[in-house]
Chains A and B, each alone.
Chain A
Amino acid sequence: MRLITPLRAVAGWLEARTGLGAAVTPAATHPVPRRTASWWYVFGSATMTLFGLQIATGICLALVYVPAADQAYQSLQYLNDQAAFGAYLRAVHYWGSNLMVLVMTLHMLQVFLFGAYKYPRELTWIAGVFMLLCTLGMAFTGQILRWDQDAYWGLGIGASIAARAPVVGSTLVHLLLGGPIIAGRTLSRFFAVHVFVVPGILIALTGLHVWLVLRLGVNEWPMPGRVVDRETYRERYEADVHRDGVPFFPVAARKDMIAMGVVILAVLVCAAIFGPNGPHGVPDPTITDASPRPDFYFLSLFALLALLPPWTETVILLVGMPLAIVFLLALPLFAGTGEKSWRRRPVAVLSALLILLVVATFAALGVMSPWSPVMDAGTALATPVVYVQGRSPLELQGALVVQNKQCRNCHRLGGEGGSRGPALDGVATRLTRDQLIRQVLQGGGNMPAYGKNLAPAEVNALVAFLETLRPANQRPARTPVAARPVARAE
């Protein structure tokens, strides 16, 4: 109790000199619409909190991390194994970035569904789209600073995408890599972008974003039928806030503060349970048995690039992606008025759901990546016993061909192997002997032709084995009667 008086004196002295309290209090206590003191409105401040956590842990990591291609990997290992709290801080930075992308997406979704991007908050949304791009930029560059095999080949993918730009492709690649190839200058460049350039832009944009929220007011709870009209909106908003507003601090800020605490605790818990990510393998490009995978935010793009018809890829990457960004930026300019409530915007709600479903589906496919061959299937997977029991010597030779020619890199057998091609279990119920021979020799339907790589005896044995691959109660495939040559009619 005795402490309070001197503390007050110090606070009074500071306030008399700086005047900061008088400057900040009106902003902190500005009135907001009563219903916006809601759990739906906490994602923005939660994202900002996570950004703050990223800055704090990022500065810590930069105290030890060496942004040089020959030592970055060792410095990460030092952080993981020796530095006090090094592994934990790396984990917090990694899980912080994951959660930041996630919570930012929730914020964006809430803003979209509540129509908050409409008049007069167009610029707040546009700044937000740039913040989304910057955050994804931070995610990509941060993944590169991990300077492992995923980073090296991730850069290769980035450069290969840039190279598809007409005319300036080569220039873009050299600009991105800081030279003709991925090497020391590349890492220094990405370090500068990750640590100075993008965070600087992000801090400035955050300032603008928050300033705009304070200046234009927190978006009111959308009511069906309450249509945004440029002539009357601001007057009605001011009147409502004055009639039935609550001070942001402490009434609305209570839930924000709880959400801030929750997201930080979530990051701390995830970091403690799951630990840091990588580094996975020295970034030595002569180690060709790498299987690069991106972090989760780019898994959907990774999947898209595997599944798109090849001829559409360049167009979708170089025209579709920029158009999607332009569409996001322009959204408040062409849909800036009208209904705000999601109950009266079925197209908006369905579009958001569709986009979410597509991204989530692609990301899930990216995790499974069924299009990737199982690169060690020929040596790592045993032929299931049921498929060799009671087989003739010729058929057993065929089973050896399946194993040795890496057929199972792309074809499953007994549930194990690649998913690039169809599973071989039951193949004899789908293809006749002639069709099997043709498929093996000529390939087609995404299968390479093995005509030059298999001796006739090997083909004979292989097909003999494949003909045994059908359930006992199912009949083998037969050539349709109409297609049978007349001379061979039985």
Chain B
Amino acid sequence: MCANHDLLPPSPSSRRGFLFTLGVALSTVATALAGIPIIGYIFGPVRRSAGQAWIKLGPVAGFPEGHTRLATYENPFRVAWDGPTAKIACWVRRVGGEQFQVFAVNCAHLGCPVRWFPQSRLFMCPCHGGAYYEDGSRASGPPPRGLFEYDYEIRQGQLWVRGGQLPTLAGPV
């Protein structure tokens, strides 16, 4: 049906040529414009990566000296549908007086939850067998470093830590 010359791009000077060029240009611009919000949306979580805030863990008196206890807090950046994953745990070691060490539960190797054994004074990881001493330093196994340690402050008898993001080698707490 169609003659051969219908398949060739029309000469740019003609009316058909103008419409063809306009069609290509308009579609390109429209696609690019639609792409901006899509790319921005997908990469949105990266922009809001300042995910750290001060969180109250509880009264200092709740952490006896010389002991290491599990403390939990709620993710400061939670959304209403986070459910149980809004909760975050950390190991609080009260060295003495106002001196604390607050460790992330996430193993420095690959993020599995380390468990505290008060009798042997070790943290052990169930995944690949990493072990840490009570001061968080690496004792054995594959972890490349000691446990991730939170910044903490004591305000009016309350222990505060700075947290909210998943502790990893790229972004320790």
Residues on the A chain within 8 Å of B105, using CB: 285, 288
Residues on the B chain within 8 Å of A288, using CB: 70, 89, 105, 113-115
- Which A240-291 residues sit within 8 Å CB-CB of chain B? 282-286, 288-291
Q: Contact between B83 and A181 (Cβ–Cβ < 8 Å)?
A: no
Q: Contact between B45 and A178 (Cβ–Cβ < 8 Å)?
A: yes
> Beta-carbon contacts of A184-208 to B below 8 Å, as 1s and 0s?
1111000000000000000000000
Q: Contact between A174 and B45 (Cβ–Cβ < 8 Å)?
A: yes
Interface residue from B79, B109, B112, B124 paired with A292 (Cβ < 8 Å): B112
Main secondary structure of the interface of B (DSSP, over half): loop
Residues on the A chain within 8 Å of B106, using CB: 156, 160
Q: How many residues of A contact B (CB 8 A)?
A: 71
Known: A160-B109, A179-B48. A184 touches B168 (CB 8 A): no
A-B contact count (CB 8 A): 215
A14 to chain B, nearest CB (A): 26
> Beta-carbon contacts of A165-181 to B below 8 Å, as 1s and 0s?
10001111111011111
Q: Contact between B87 and A285 (Cβ–Cβ < 8 Å)?
A: yes
Residues on the A chain within 8 Å of B133, using CB: 448, 452
Q: How large is the interface on B (under 10, 10 to 19, 20 to 34, 35 or more residues)?
A: 35 or more
Q: Bound state CA distance, A178 and B104, in angstroms? A: 20
Q: Contact between A284 and B119 (Cβ–Cβ < 8 Å)?
A: no
Q: Contact between B87 and A375 (Cβ–Cβ < 8 Å)?
A: no
Q: Bound state CA distance, A488 and B82, in angstroms? A: 68
* Stretch in B1-9, B23-31, B134-142, B153-161 with 4+ CB within 8 Å of A: B134-142
Closest B residue, CB atoms, query A156: B111
Q: Contact between B113 and A290 (Cβ–Cβ < 8 Å)?
A: yes
Most central of B43, B86, B112, B164 by chain A CB within 10 Å: B112
Residues on the A chain within 8 Å of B168, using CB: 159-160, 162-163, 169-170, 173
Closest B residue, CB atoms, query A180: B51
Q: Contact between B85 and A446 (Cβ–Cβ < 8 Å)?
A: no
Main secondary structure of the interface of A (DSSP, over half): loop
Say yes or no for B101: interface residue by CB 8 A criterion: no
> Beta-carbon contacts of B126-166 to A below 8 Å, as 1s and 0s?
11110101100001111110000000000000000000111
Known: A177-B166, A450-B120. A373 touches B144 (CB 8 A): no
Most central of B43, B85, B87, B170 by chain A CB within 10 Å: B85
Q: Bound state CA distance, A310 and B87, in angstroms? A: 31
Known: A159-B168, A161-B110, A184-B85. A453 touches B139 (CB 8 A): no
Q: Contact between A175 and B127 (Cβ–Cβ < 8 Å)?
A: no
Interface residue from B51, B82, B127 paired with A372 (Cβ < 8 Å): B127
Q: Can you list 17 A-B pairs with a CB-CB distance of less than 8 A?
A: A69-B85, A71-B83, A180-B49, A181-B51, A181-B75, A181-B77, A183-B79, A283-B84, A283-B85, A305-B110, A306-B142, A313-B144, A371-B141, A372-B127, A373-B131, A443-B140, A450-B120
Chain B residues in contact with chain A, CB under 8 A? 42-43, 45-46, 48-49, 51-52, 70, 72, 75, 77-89, 105-106, 109-115, 117, 119-122, 124-129, 131, 133-134, 139-144, 164-166, 168-171
Chain A residues in contact with chain B, CB under 8 A? 68-73, 152-153, 156-157, 159-165, 169-175, 177-187, 282-286, 288-292, 302, 305-306, 308, 310, 313, 371-373, 375, 378, 404-407, 409-410, 420, 443, 446-450, 452-453
